[in-house]
Chains A and B, each alone.
Chain A
Amino acid sequence: MKLKDTTRERLKSVAELDALRRKLKAARDPKKVTVLMCMTGCRAKGADKAAAALRHEIGNFRLKDKVDIVETGCHGFCSMAPVMVIEPFGYMYCKVTAEDMHEVARTTLKTGEVIERLCYEDPITGARIPLNKDIPFYKNQKKIVLRNCGVIDPTLIEHYIERDGYAALGMILSQGVKPDKVVEMVKKSGLRGRGGAGFPTGIKWQLAHDQQNPTKYLVCNADEGDPGAFMDRAVLEGDPHTVIEGMLVGAYAMGASQGYVYCRAEYPIAVRHVKMAIEQAEACGLLGDNILGSDFSFHIKLKEGAGAFVCGEETALMASIEGERGMPRPRPPFPIQSGLWGCPTCINNVETLANIAPIITRGPEWYAGMGTETSKGTKIFALAGAINNTGLVEVPMGITLREIIFDVGGGILENKRFKAAQTGGPSGGVIPADFIDLAIDYDSLAKVGAIMGSGGLIVMDQGNCIVDIAKFFLNFTCSESCGKCTPCRIGLTRMLEILNKISRGEGVPEDLETLETMARVIKDSALCGLGQTAPNPVLTSVQHFRDEYMAHIVDKKCPSLKCKALITYSIDQELCRMCGICSKSCPTGAITGQVKKKGQEGVPFHIMEDTCNKCGMCYSMCPFGSVALA
C-alpha cells in the first residue's frame, strides 16, 4: 500500500478505526524484506546519503517490488550510527556508508545472506553479532515507550495504527469507560512524572479532573533543555502519535478541550514530525471535534520555544505560551488550579504521556508489575560521556548503575576506570563509583543527593575533574537563571565565583563550608525548581569528592589535569617537529623556536612559563601531540 501520498478519510467510529487497523495488518507481508533506517539522529552521520544510495542500488538490482525501505526514528544505538535493521532476518548493520549499499543490495537484500563486516563487533570478544536481538545493548532493555521508535515511519499515521496505535483511545470510547475510571487506571499503574520531579501522574490527573472550571488545558512539556538528555527528542521524532494518544486519553480523563505541545525550537525534526502527526490525526478524525463520532472533542496546537532553559519549569512554560518572558510564578496557585489564562492546566512530560497508551491497553496491573516498590515501569536514559555505547536505553526501574554502564552501555571508553555518574543534568547530582550497585529509582537517587531528572546519564572517567563538572553545571544554571528571585540570581553567581576561585588555585578551606551553607539556603529559598535544584551538583560533589576539592585548595593541583590555571604546559623537545603551529596559535606570544624548513635546521619550540596564560591553544592545535601537561 502506498501511504506517502494517500488521502486520508475521516474515521467516523471506533469500528471504522478497528477495520482500518485490520486492513493494514492484513496488507503487511511478514516475509517481505524491509529495511529500517534511522533517519533522525543518524542523519548527522550521513544516514540520508546511505538511504539515497540504497534506493539507487535497489533500482539497479530490480528489487523495487521486493524490498521496502522504512525511514524510522531512533534505534537508540547512536554510537553505531548510522544503523539499519533488515527484516525479516533481524540483521543489524552498524556505521553503514553509501559505499556499503551496493553490497547490501547484492547480498542481503537479494539472497538474505548476512554481511559479517557490517555487523556489531563485541568489544571484548571481537565476535560479530549479526542479530539485533543478540546484541548486549538491546538484550538488557525493555522497550515500552520506545516500542515503535526505529520500527515505524513516524510520518505515517497508518504505521502507528497498524501497531495497535489509537487502540487505547478506541477502547475507552467504544466501551464507554468513564473519565474517573481512566484516572483510576493511571493511578493504579503507579506511573510517576518522567520530567524530573516524579509526581504521581494519576494524582495530577485526579486534581485536574476535580476542577470545576469548564475550560481546562492539557500541555505536553517537550521543552527538553537538560544538557545531556535527548529521550523526548527521540520519542517525538520517532513516534509522535504515541504522545498525541497519551494526550487524548488525558484530555478525556480530565475533561480538557484544548492541548498544547510546547516543543524546543532546537529540535527541528521533532517540530516537523509533531506538526505532521497533528495534521494526520485531524484528517483521520482522531483529533478535533467529535472524535471517532463520539461527543469527545480535543484540539492540539504546537508552540515552539524560543530558547530559554527555564521554560521547562511549568509556570515559566505557561508564561511563554501566553507570549510573555518565560519567568516562573510563585506557587500556589498551582497550574492545576490556575494555569494558562487563569484556567486549570495539567502539564505532563513527553515520556510520561508516551506511557499512557500501553497502560490502558495492557492494563495498570501489568505496568505496576515492573519496577520497584515506589517507581513503576521503565525509564529511558540517555547515555553519554566516557562510555562505549552512547545512545538511548529503556530499562526497568530498579536496574543498577553497574548494569546500565557495563551491560547495556558496554563499559568505559578505552577501558579507563569509572569515576562517577551524573544524573539529572544541572538539577541532579554526582554519584561516585562506590554506589555502582545502587538500584536506580526516584527514591534511591534522592537518597544519595541526586535526582532522576529527565534521565540524562553522563559517565565520567578519571580524566574528568569534579570541580570542573560542578563549575560547568553552575555556569549553566547561572546563565539560564531568569533573574526574578534573589537566591538564584545572586546566590548562584556567588557560588560560581567561589568555584572559579578554587579552580584557579586561589581557594581556602573555608570555601567548602560557605558553598555548603549557600547551597542549602538557595535550595530552601529560590522561587522555582531551577533555583531550588541548581546547587545539587555542587552539594553532591563536595559531599562525595571532598579530597579532590582539597587537592585544588591545599595542594593547588588538579589531579585530572582539567583546570587550566593549575596545569603547566611544556613542549617535549624530543617530540617537537618544529612546524610552528603552536607559536602561530599562541595569543600571548609565549612560544619561541625556529620553524624547520627545507635545507635548514630548526630550533624546537619552547613555552615561556611567565608569559603563558594557560589557554591551552597550543595543546589543542599541535598535530603531533608534543605539548605535555603536568
Chain B
Amino acid sequence: MTKIAQLEKSIKKLDRNKGPLIPLLQQTQAIYGWLPEEALRHISEALDIPLSKVYGVVTFYSQFYLKPRGRHCIKSCQGTACHVRGGKNVLQALEHHLEVSEGGTTKDLKFSLDTVACLGTCFLAPVVMVNEDYYGDVAPKEVPKILKNYE
C-alpha cells in the first residue's frame, strides 16, 4: 500500500469529534517517519483545518518533524540528574563525532541527534537512548563505541 493510501485509511478510521488532529499527525509520522508537506496538505483538506493551523500545531510540539530523520534516533538526556552528572559533555562528544549539532541529522541519514528534557531514567545518568536501547553512565569517550553498534 502506498503511504498516501495508508494515510487515507487512517483518516477514514478517525474519530472526528474529539480533537482528531494530533493523533492523526502521530499516525502520519508513524507512516512516513516525518511529516512531508504533501501529507500535511492532505490532512488540512480532509479535516477542513487551515494548513497554517496544522503547521502551527506541528511546530509547537517537539515530537513532530518537518525534515526526514535518520535511520537511528539518538536522544541525549539533558534532565537535571544527567546535567549534574555531566550530560552536557556527552552531548558535546556526540555532536563532535556525528558532526551535527543537536536537532540535526547526519548527511547519510544514518543518525538524528536530539536532546530530551528527561527520559525518566535518572538512575542511569547521564543517559543516551538510541532507538529503544538505553546507555547509562555514559562517559564522553564511550560515544564512538556506542555509535559503532548501529549500521
Contacts and interface: CB of A to CB of B under 8 A. Distances in A.
B116 interface: yes
Contact of A45 (B61, B64, B136): B136
Contacts of A323: 19-23, 57
Interface string A468-490: 01001100100010100000000
Contact of A306 (B64, B118, B136, B139): B64
Nearest to A476: B117
B136 A44 contact: yes
A386 to B, nearest CB: 7
Nearest to A79: B123
A252 B150 CA distance: 51
B22 A385 contact: no
Contact of B61 (A307, A386, A458, A472): A307
B57 A620 contact: no
B93 A620 contact: yes
B72 interface: no
Given A616-B89, A620-B93, A230 B120 contact: yes
B84 interface: yes
B92 A615 contact: yes
B120 A384 contact: no
B61 A266 contact: no
Interface in B15-51: 18-23, 25-26
Given A266-B120, A391-B123, A228 B22 contact: no
Contact residues on A (Cβ < 8 Å of other chain), bracket: 35 or more
A480 to B, nearest CB: 7
A476 B57 CA distance: 21
Contact of A326 (B18, B60, B136, B140): B60
Report which residue of A79, A325, A391, A615 has the largest number of chain B beta carbons within 10 angstroms of its beta carbon.
A325
Contacts of B89: 616, 619-620
Nearest to B134: A44
Interface string A216-228: 0000000011111
A386 B84 contact: yes
Nearest to A232: B120
Pairs A-B, 9 closest by C-beta atoms: A78-B123, A323-B19, A227-B79, A44-B134, A384-B122, A306-B61, A384-B81, A620-B140, A307-B62
28 contacts: A43-B134, A44-B121, A44-B134, A78-B121, A224-B120, A229-B118, A230-B120, A265-B26, A266-B116, A266-B118, A305-B61, A306-B63, A307-B64, A308-B61, A320-B22, A323-B19, A323-B20, A384-B122, A385-B81, A390-B123, A391-B123, A458-B84, A472-B80, A473-B80, A476-B117, A616-B89, A617-B93, A620-B93
Interface of B: 18-23, 25-26, 56-57, 60-64, 78-81, 83-85, 89, 92-93, 96, 116-125, 127, 132, 134, 136, 139-141
